[in-house]
Amino acid sequence: MASYQSLTKEELLQEREKLLAEYESYKSKGLKLDMSRGKPGAEQLNLSLPMLDALNSVSDFTAEDGTDCRNYGVVDGIPEAKRLMASLMGVQPDEVIVGGNSSMNMMYDAIARAMTHGMCGAGKPWMKQNKVKFLCPVPGYDRHFAVCEHFGIEMINISMNADGPDMDVVEKMVNGDEAVKGIWCVPKFSNPSGITYSDEVVRRFANLSPKAPDFRIFWDNAYFIHDLYEPRVELLNLFSEAKKAGKEDMVLMFSSTSKVSYPGAGIAALAASRRNIEIIKKQMSVQTIGYDKMSQLRHARYFKSVDFVHEHMKKHAEILRPKFELVLSEMEKELAPLGIAEWEKPLGGYFISLNTMNGCAKQVVALCREAGVVLTPAGSAYPYKQDPNDSNIRIAPSFPPIGELAVTAKLLCLCVKLAAAEKLIKQKM
Amino acid sequence: MASYQSLTKEELLQEREKLLAEYESYKSKGLKLDMSRGKPGAEQLNLSLPMLDALNSVSDFTAEDGTDCRNYGVVDGIPEAKRLMASLMGVQPDEVIVGGNSSMNMMYDAIARAMTHGMCGAGKPWMKQNKVKFLCPVPGYDRHFAVCEHFGIEMINISMNADGPDMDVVEKMVNGDEAVKGIWCVPKFSNPSGITYSDEVVRRFANLSPKAPDFRIFWDNAYFIHDLYEPRVELLNLFSEAKKAGKEDMVLMFSSTSKVSYPGAGIAALAASRRNIEIIKKQMSVQTIGYDKMSQLRHARYFKSVDFVHEHMKKHAEILRPKFELVLSEMEKELAPLGIAEWEKPLGGYFISLNTMNGCAKQVVALCREAGVVLTPAGSAYPYKQDPNDSNIRIAPSFPPIGELAVTAKLLCLCVKLAAAEKLIKQKM
């Protein structure tokens, strides 16, 4: 079919008739599907079942350092859990704190501490500073932005290129404005665009010269081992690069096993310079006696080595890859020829970022919802939920079974076409 | 033996000689024992082993409401975990949030949120108020005081009577000073004194008329089911009493299974009015997607009912009771006749609070440490670690095996005698 732009008003009206009829038939199916969040599907959850047998009533609960994991103590994680997370994150075990079940919680806590006590001993509490700003590469992760909004931190959109955030703007703002205290990054398989930062972008991050001594790069490496294909995509190690520049205090890196073992029952980790770690540990020890060491031990015992983890992640990939490819091929077939939408083809992570024609995203999401398919609300990937172009839709293909996903993908493409046709018709009136 | 006070200087010098010789023989034993924290002993940890078999690789992970506990979601806890904690705490399930592994963490977070956002929508952020004060019944729990110190909250000592805090002073300060925003209470088997608040004290708490709209009672019911004897000690339900007075927004109650199942791998809960819960849930949902539902499910499946939990706690009591009684009987035998120390006989909880002669506590702790026994540092039970009388020592008899405890108790009494003798000798010089 020819691109929608090339159609006459009459042709578009006919096309809309056809699309509407098809849409009504979907509505009559009474669908009830959810593609709103990056949740693993049931098949993936089954992959980590053997981990649940790693600890039972006859296990030995002694960590390598002699700690009885059933009792109080050890605020920063047992040695074997620290070593596992450190080796996956490319840092040393003493550069890691293993926390609770959520890296998001660790990020929130880091910012909450900065609000009341300043960031890791550098500078005044953010609540006592005139203004605190964060740079937000967009589209980005809604929960990052929600933390900033919660704490009244002003968010500044930074546009994303194919190799990462626009570093010219990042450098200018970070190096020139003392109110800029942080930047949110999902550097590998970025949420939602799926892109991975290039070596050059990582090096430019490592060499930032922030005007604010309490500026930190929030490096949320959520999808650090979540490749869909072999060979794995290599992300340059920001921490090593920052060390070369003597700037490792500027970096806070986060990861978790939420999508390796279990969301909500995984383990999360923060990696940072020894200086930062020392300060954070001291502050954390006021908040808690320690996180769940049984969960840490369960993970360390089951996920024996980095190699074992990568093998495990291949099994996730085998389940996820067909889901991504199904949605992408449907979009390729249905949308690409019409010139009404754009997207990246992600090599990992949990999302496909779809850009419709400007002004159509909200309508597409509403149309899908009316037909029984819940997508992430349009605008979610932007600070204050404001997508300036109303064009971005985050698609999360992981959760639905593949049979349902086929229906969903078709419905999604239909709704994108319908919204585009209506927009073009209006333009021609 | 006669009381030390009645001895002459010569007799005291002789007594000291004898005690020093005995002390030296302890030192030569090369002891290495820890009585510093209220940690369950190994035998207690074994009681909950069957819980670890409640979930394994062939379990059903579906919560009562259909939630797959292995996946994301449910910020306030799965229904069965909420119901379990609610029934143990004497509130309704929708008046409970089940959190992570630590009630201390929930208390810290409640105060951290109040610092940055105000307390549950009442009043300005505490960081934007001139001064924030907390009342601290003493002796009390060191970690409570550490949170206040961390956030720069001024702490005011409130003396404890045999039936709870001095309510005349509490009422005067709460009802008269808008800067007073909270009070720390461990109402049952108080840490460390072991006393339980009387019905009258609880009723007076429920009927406080705080000048500050953002005043909250931090009711840390850590030992709510941790009785050593039958029948169980009944603590009047503050929440019900506060409801009668229409003042339930003033109450935040905390409990956990840390000393029911596992410290660090238990589940914690906050109980509060529906109004408070709603605000807290909303704020919490910025911090985390949800706590560990697998841990919640494991607890709910194993600890089937309130009756089951009470039976389980009896097994804890059977292990703990002899330990408490051993220390108490040693003190009764060695110290009571000498008139140099005072203590309560706790009916539950994890501590014995020993008051030496004024000015002796630090010395006793130092003497014990030199002989290889670590006690909680003297002064720990007071804000800013300042015991105005230097007389309070918190004894935690739970952790050491009973054989070691016998040695420790003897050494402790010896050190109390030695410090007292030296003090009295100095007075007579």
Residue with tokens 């994301």: B72
Whether A104 and B289 lie within 8 Å, measured CB to CB: yes
Q: From CA A236, how far away is CA A248, in angstroms rounded?
A: 14
Whether A150 and B286 lie within 8 Å, measured CB to CB: yes
CA distance A245 to chain B (A): 32
Which portions of chain B are predicted below pLDDT 70?
1
Convert A237-276 to b/e letters by CB count within 10 Å (16 or more is b). Answer: bbbebbbeeebbbbbbbbbbbbbbbbbbbbbbbbbbbeeb
Say which amino acid occupies B297: L
Mean pLDDT of A175-195: 97
Whether B287 and A72 lie within 8 Å, measured CB to CB: no
CA distance A219 to chain B (A): 17
Model confidence band, residue A187 (pLDDT cutoffs 50, 70, 90): very high
Say which amino acid occupies B80: E
Report the pLDDT value the prediction gives residue B313, as an integer from 0 to 100.
98
Report the pLDDT value the prediction gives residue B429, as an integer from 0 to 100.
79
Q: From CA A423, how far away is CA A417, in angstroms rounded?
A: 10
Whether B150 and A115 lie within 8 Å, measured CB to CB: no
Would you state the structure tokens that stand for residue A81, as one six-digit string? 């859990």
Tens digits of residue pLDDT in B352-388? 999 999 999 999 999 999 999 999 999 999 999 999 9
Tens digits of residue pLDDT in A41-100? 999 999 999 999 999 999 999 999 999 999 999 999 999 999 999 999 999 999 999 999
DSSP state of A376: P
Mean pLDDT of A187-193: 97
CA distance B151 to chain A (A): 7
Q: From CA A45, how far away is CA A62, in angstroms rounded?
A: 27
Q: From CA B421, how far away is CA B15, in angstroms rounded?
A: 7
Report the pLDDT value the prediction gives residue A114, as an integer from 0 to 100.
98
| Optimal mutation site among A47, A288, A297, interface B, most CBs of chain B within 10 A | A288
Please give the distance of CA B381 from its chain centroid, rounded to a whole number. Answer: 10
Tens digits of residue pLDDT in A323-372? 999 999 999 999 999 999 999 999 999 999 999 999 999 999 999 999 99
Sequence length of chain B is: 429
Would you state the structure tokens that stand for residue A224, as one six-digit string? 């650090």
The set of residues, in sequence order, having a beta carbon less than 8 Å from that of A277 and lying 6+ positions away, is A76, A94, A95, A96, A97
Residues of chain A with Cβ-Cβ distance to B58 below 8 Å are: 49
8 A C-beta contact, residue A283 and residue A273: no
Alpha-carbon torsion angle B222, B228, B232, B238, nearest 10: -20
Model confidence band, residue A35 (pLDDT cutoffs 50, 70, 90): confident
Tens digits of residue pLDDT in B317-339? 999 999 999 999 999 999 999 99
Would you state the structure tokens that stand for residue B4, as one six-digit string? 């030390």
Across the interface, of B45, B100, B147, the residue whose CB is closest to A100 is B100
Residue with tokens 């230097």: B390
Label each residue of chain B as H, E or C: CCCHHHCCHHHHHHHHHHHHHHHHHHHCCCCCEEECCCCCCHHHHHHCHHHHHCCCCCCCCECCCCCECCCCCCCCCCHHHHHHHHHHHCCCHHHEEECCCCHHHHHHHHHHHHHHHCECCECCCHHHCCCCEEEEEECCCHHHHHHHHHCCCEEEEEEEECCEECHHHHHHHHHHCCCEEEEEECCCCCCCCCCCCCHHHHHHHHCCCCCCCCCEEEEECCCCCCECCCCCCCCCCHHHHHHHCCCHHHEEEEEECCCCCCCCCCCEEEECCHHHHHHHHHHHHHHCCCCCHHHHHHHHHHCCCHHHHHHHHHHHHHHHHHHHHHHHHHHHHHCHHHCCEEECCCCECCCEEEEECCCCHHHHHHHHHHCCEEECCCCCCCHHHCCCCCCEEEECCCCCCHHHHHHHHHHHHHHHHHHHHHHHHHHCC
CA distance B95 to chain A (A): 22
| Optimal mutation site among A127, A220, A292, A293, interface B, most CBs of chain B within 10 A | A292
What chain B residue is nearest to A149 in terms of C-alpha separation? B286
- Report the DSSP pairing between strands A251-256 and A216-220: parallel
Would you state the structure tokens that stand for residue A162, as one six-digit string? 């194919």
Whether A56 and B59 lie within 8 Å, measured CB to CB: no
8 A C-beta contact, residue A40 and residue A223: no
Whether B264 and A289 lie within 8 Å, measured CB to CB: yes
Mean pLDDT of A395-421: 95
Whether A45 and B71 lie within 8 Å, measured CB to CB: yes
DSSP state of A348: B
Across the interface, of A39, A56, A294, the residue whose CB is closest to B56 is A56
Q: At what angle do helices B199-206 and B167-176 cross, to 10 degrees?
A: 0
Q: Which of A45, A100, A20, A65 is nearest to A294 (CA)?
A: A100
CA distance A367 to chain B (A): 25
Say which amino acid occupies A190: S
A55's enclosing H/E stretch is: none
Residues of chain A with Cβ-Cβ distance to B50 below 8 Å are: 57
Q: Is A149 exposed, middle or buried (0-12, 13-18, 19+ CB in 10 A)?
A: middle
Residue with tokens 């049931």: A42
Q: From CA A194, how far away is CA B102, in angstroms rounded?
A: 36
Residues of chain B with Cβ-Cβ distance to A68 below 8 Å are: 42, 45
Q: From CA A335, how far away is CA A328, in angstroms rounded?
A: 10
Would you state the structure tokens that stand for residue B55, as one six-digit string? 């979930």
